[in-house]
Structure 1
Amino acid sequence: MTTIADLDEFILEETEDGIFLTVTGDDETTLKLKVTLDDLEEIVEVIDEVFGLEEDDSEEVDETAG
């Protein structure tokens, strides 16, 4: 198993060959993984369980404001 310490950047891209998740650590270590939509859903679930996902209320627009 490979570990990327101190995740610096991630890129999610869809190509004709599939969906790829590329992660880069602050030490420039890069790992490119081919993933499925199910994989991505599971990744989000684990992140939510471990860290909790918070919705950003600042992006919601108050339509009652004048």
Structure 2
Amino acid sequence: MIAPDREEITRILSLGDWLCDVRIILILADDDKETMVKAHTLRPRYVTCMDCDVIDVVTVFKRMVGLYDSM
């Protein structure tokens, strides 16, 4: 999921109950402390910012897919 601004993270947080059993990767607009605290309430598998290295997201995604394939 991508939250390009703080308003979007608020909208995503409103889906919290529906996302509780979903493994998500969350890409945020910034790494502001308040934004990070909000993001972690969703219990994502991985949290990063838009300006961070995309290879980390790809690596986490591949591992997540590998876990599902082995089930």
TM-score range for the pair, normalised by the shorter chain length: 0.3 to 0.5
If the length of structure 2 is used for normalisation, what is the TM-score?
0.32
Which structure is richer in relative contact order (CA contacts within 8 A, separation 6 or more)?
Answer: 2
The structure that is strand-richer by fraction is 1
- Choose 1 or 2 for highest CA Rg: 1
If the length of structure 1 is used for normalisation, what is the TM-score?
0.33
